[in-house]
Structures are given as structure tokens and as C-alpha cells.
Chain A
């Protein structure tokens, strides 16, 4: 019989040889073929060319081909970028190709690599030992290397963007301005201030590509590409987006992108913060109120426009009231405005703006009311006497039939969910005086779709009709209080309106 173990000895021989081959292969690949070794050898040659004086010769003599890193325990980073970017802090390296070149500008004078590392500003995977993995666009890493023009967005980690020279952070400065001009705060919260129709943007820069819908975006799928495309066409990137097109130029879209990337609540040790950043943090705790007009522009215009006419909004499928219109201003009291602004209209797109909700200071709300009331000039509603009607006893059931025939078409059944303002809304019911309602029905609203029902030349309603209608409208406020809260809770808006 054949030797029973012969086949096993052959197997052992083959397997051992294969093992040796792969072990040696792995060793060669790791120790001789690594990208960074070639780069450092190139850099040594550059150093040799430039070693014309004592200092240059000293630098050449001290250069070693080895892994280099900036380890910054305070920031929790280990950046090995300097393994290939050997010349970042050598001022002589301005005329050599990347990755050997000097860092542009004078940034490193105040931000030495030993203290700051690289990724705190540039992002990317600092621990990586090859460029592809450091750039990290196609590898599993949350924050890939920022493109050069976006790098300024990280300055605000330690600086107050308003205090930095605008020419150093051009995009950020423009973005900040655009954010206010485009009234983004009407729908988005930032720093605790703003509306709730859109998501809060406080940590927008910290989002990774997995948190954004990339389906409709061509590669590369980076967060900045998403932001840029989204600013140019929100609905094209996120189908069914409620966001109206901000109509921006390419450059403006980039500016807003940089501003969004800068929104990142990042913890860095206090010793890294610039003095202006600390002041900024302090200011946030002791905010200085904005003037009424500024508040209006930043937090109201996205929906209300300039406020002197009614806007039809096709996404909301309803009219947005003219809150600076002559009729309203001449009929409504400051208290009426205050209730509606502070509490919003629960269940509608109008959020609450009180300090605990939309983040406006009481002085700011006062200021914006003054601004609203200084609105459109022109003949207001005639101040006809109202006491006669108010003393009449109204019949709510007749009021109901009047309401159904004349009002429900726009204001909706029960005065809710129509395309006109919600007169069944608990906040309206609580804020509006009988006189206010009465005068509005009687005179209508100039510049809006609300007609006058008791024009002197052709009154549609008698005084008794109006009293009946008023009686009916007041029943809406009684029963609907509970439902309003429920509605508000299901719509998920944090703008809690107390009925």
C-alpha cells in the first residue's frame, strides 16, 4: 500500500510555500511600497536642492523618513497629514508641487500644526496614511476633507464670524448676510430663534452624508454638494420639500453652503477659543434686542412678504394674512398682535414666537408690533360706532346658517383649516375682541379677499345678522379649546399655543 501520509506532506509543502509567499508579499507591501515613503523620499530630494545655507543643510541632515503625526490630545485628534505634507511650515517651499508645498497665507503663524493639527480646520481622516483615505470621500468616514473654498466654515469653531476680517471669510460673511436677508429664520431655528416649519439648523454642519437625501443628487455625494444643490433647487433635491426656492446665484448658494457647514456645536477646550468667540457665547446669554423692522425681515417676510397684501401660498394651500394691511392695523389692538405673535396659531403654519418657543425677546415682540402698526398708510376702516350691535342679543343658530352660507367657504367649517385665517383658532378667539370681529365683518379687509358685509351703500348683513354671527363665532372658542391642543400635539410643532 502507498504511504498514507504522502499526500499530506505534499499539501504541507504547498501550503507552507504559499504562506511564505504571502507573508513576504505583505511585508514588502507594508514596508516598501507605502505611498508616504515615496513622498518623503521626494521631499528629501527637494530639501537637498534647497540646502544652500546652514539652516537648509541642518534641516536636510535632521530629516528622517518615518511616520509623522501631530497628536493633539486636547482636541482628541491624531493628524498624520504631516507625514506627506512635510513642507507646510517651511517658508521656502512655495514653489514646489503638492504635497510638499508651504501652507498658504499666514494661518500657521497663529495656528501652529503642533497645537492645532490639521483636521480641526480641514476635516478629513487625520489618522490615515494615504491621500485617498485622508480625503475620505469614498471611504467610511463622516467628515471628508473640505474643499478649499469651504474650509473657512470651520473658523467659527473658535472665532466669532462677525469679528473676523470679511476678506478672510468671504463666503461665510456673505452667507450670514443672506441668511438674514432671505428671512430663513421665518421657518428655521438657529441659536434658539426662528420658526418651526423647517428643521432647526443649529447642528447642520455636523450632519453626515447619511443624514441627507442623496437620491436625486449626482456624485460626489458630499454634504456641501448637497447643500449647494439644495439651495439652488430645494424641491429637486428633496421631493415634497415645503421650502420655497430662495432664488440665489451660484455664488450665493456657495455662501449659504459655507454658512450651513459652519453651524456645528463643537466642543473644543476653552484655551482654543478666541476672545471674540467667548464674547459671542456670553452675548448669546445676554442677547441685545433687534429693532422691530429687523425682526420682521428676519423672521416674518418669508411667509408674510412685506405684509401689506394677502399672499396665496400654494404649498400651504391657503392665504397668508396681510399683517401690515391698513384694515387690520386700524382695527386690531396691540394686545391682539401680541397674543397672536407670542402664541402663534396652533394647528396652522404660524408658530409661537414667545421667548420659550420662537425665541423672540419681549422687547423684540413689542418692537415688531410697533413696526407692524406703522405699516401701510391709507384710509383705514371707518370708525363707525359699534355699541349698538354689541348690545343686541345674538342668536347663534341663525349665526351658524349665516356662517355656512357666507364664511365657511374660505374660513372652513368651524372656522378651522380653511384657506383664510382661522377664526375658530383658540388664540384668535381669545385675542380678538367682539369689537374687532364686528368691525372686520362690517368693513372687510382692504388688500385681501375679505369683503365688507355691511357697506353703507349696500349692506349684506343687518346689525342683527352680525350679532347672530358673532354669537355663533363665540361658540367656536368654547368647544374647540381641547381640540386645538390635540391638533397642535399631532402636528408636532413645539410652538405650544396656550388657548
Chain B
């Protein structure tokens, strides 16, 4: 330390620590706020809770593909279930094959209940949550999965 300089103030003085500390806290708070921004608060595009109409319009044993919504709605004797037609491997849309679903991208194959029977897919096609809206229409929520075999009874 030079003999001629003003006496050095220790950086450990209360003022230094407090000001530097509050500076970093402020910057941290600001950073948290700024990092929240890129995460969309509400997703653009149509909602992924699809209203598919009143249940009566689907007969027992029917299978109705909804191409825009990427799902197939089934009704058997006991109730409804919906299977997503988005491949669990890397997101291609599967096509209905003779005895199930086949993915055109990497050759994954699923049976008609969505279970994997071949190819690289790590897990079965998701079963989507079926429910009913307040006015009675069937709703499939593509954001919510349910365990395979879950039936929605009307």
C-alpha cells in the first residue's frame, strides 16, 4: 500500500458489504424476472382440450379418427377411450395399420390398444384423458395422460 494514498477502506466494511450485497440481490431478482419472460404464460394456438361433441354421436364399437387433433376416439361396450396418434419415439404422426398403428418415420409399430409391438418407440401410445364439459359434450384433454385401459363411462 502506497504511503501517499488515502487510507484504504477495508472492503469488508459494513457499507461496502451492504451495498454490494444489495446490488447482487437486486441483480438476482431482476434476472429471475427476466428469465421468466421467455417461458410463455399462455400457449398460442387453439386449446388442447378438444370438445368432440355429445357422446351419443359415437356408437359402441366405433373408432373415430380426429386428424387435426392427432387422436383417435374409441367407444367400446363399456365406455370411451382416446389414444394419441403422436409416436412416442420422436413425435411423428402414426398411421392406422391393419392391426394397429405404424409410424412412418422410424418404423415403430403399435397394436390397436397402443402397446409397442416393434421398432424404437420407448413406450405405448398415450391414452388421453376423456371427460365431459358442463354442457355434456365429450372432452379429450391432449395434455393429460391416463393409464392404459382407463375407460370413461358415460
What residues make up the interface of A, taking CB atoms closer than 8 Å to B? 1-4, 6, 9-10, 12-13, 16-17, 19-20, 23-24, 26-27, 55, 58-59, 62, 66-73, 78, 80, 87, 89-93, 108-109, 112, 114
Whether B23 contacts A114 by the Cβ 8 Å rule is no
Across the interface, do B26 and A13 meet the contact criterion of CB distance under 8 Å?
Answer: no
Q: Is B135 close to A, CB under 8 A?
A: yes
Check A69–B22 contact: CB distance below 8 A. Answer: no
Residues of B within 8 A of A58 (CB): 131-132
What is the bound-complex CA distance between A87 and B135, given in angstroms?
Answer: 11
B residues lining the A interface (CB < 8 Å): 6-7, 9, 15-16, 18-20, 22-23, 25-26, 29-30, 33, 41-42, 44-47, 51, 131-135
Q: Contact: B135 with A89, CB < 8 Å? A: yes
* B33 with A13: CB separation less than 8 A: no
Secondary structure at the B interface, as helix, strand, loop or mixed, is mixed
B44 near A20: Cβ-Cβ < 8 Å: no
A9 to B132, CA, bound (A): 62
- A3 contacts B6, CB within 8 Å? yes
Residues of chain A within 8 A (CB-CB) of B25 are 16, 20
| B148 CB → nearest A CB, Å | 21
Q: How many A-B residue pairs have CB under 8 A?
A: 83
- Chain A residues with Cβ under 8 A from B6's Cβ? 1-4
Judge whether A24 and B29 touch: CB under 8 Å: yes
Cα(A78)–Cα(B135), bound, Å: 23
Could you tell me the distance in whole angstroms from the C-beta of A19 to the nearest C-beta in chain B? 4
Listed from nearest, the 3 A-B pairs whose CB atoms lie closest are: A90-B134, A16-B22, A13-B19
13 other A-B residue contacts (CB within 8 Å) besides A16-B23, A17-B26, A62-B131: A4-B6, A9-B19, A10-B19, A13-B15, A19-B29, A20-B26, A23-B33, A58-B132, A70-B47, A89-B133, A89-B134, A90-B135, A92-B134
A-B contact pairs, 18 of them (CB 8 A): A4-B6, A6-B9, A10-B15, A12-B23, A13-B22, A16-B23, A16-B25, A17-B26, A19-B29, A55-B132, A55-B134, A58-B131, A67-B41, A68-B47, A87-B134, A89-B133, A89-B134, A93-B134
Chain B residues with CB below 8 A from A13, complex form: 15, 18-19, 22
A72 to B47, CA, bound (A): 10
A73 & B46 in contact (Cβ 8 Å cutoff):
yes
B residues near A17, Cβ cutoff 8 Å:
22, 26
Check if B23 sits within 8 Å of A59, measured CB to CB. Answer: no
Q: Which residues of A have CB within 8 Å of B44?
A: 71, 78
The answer to whether B47 and A71 have CB atoms under 8 Å apart is yes
Q: Which chain B residues lie closer than 8 Å to A24 at the CB level?
A: 29
How far, in whole Å, are A27 and B16 apart by their CA atoms in the complex? 28
Tell me, rounded to whole Å, the shortest Cβ–Cβ distance linking A323 to chain B.
59
Contact indicator B15/A23 (Cβ below 8 Å): no
Q: Quick one: closest A residue to B9, CB to CB?
A: A3
With A20-B29, A59-B134, A91-B135 in contact, is A6–B15 under 8 Å at CB?
yes
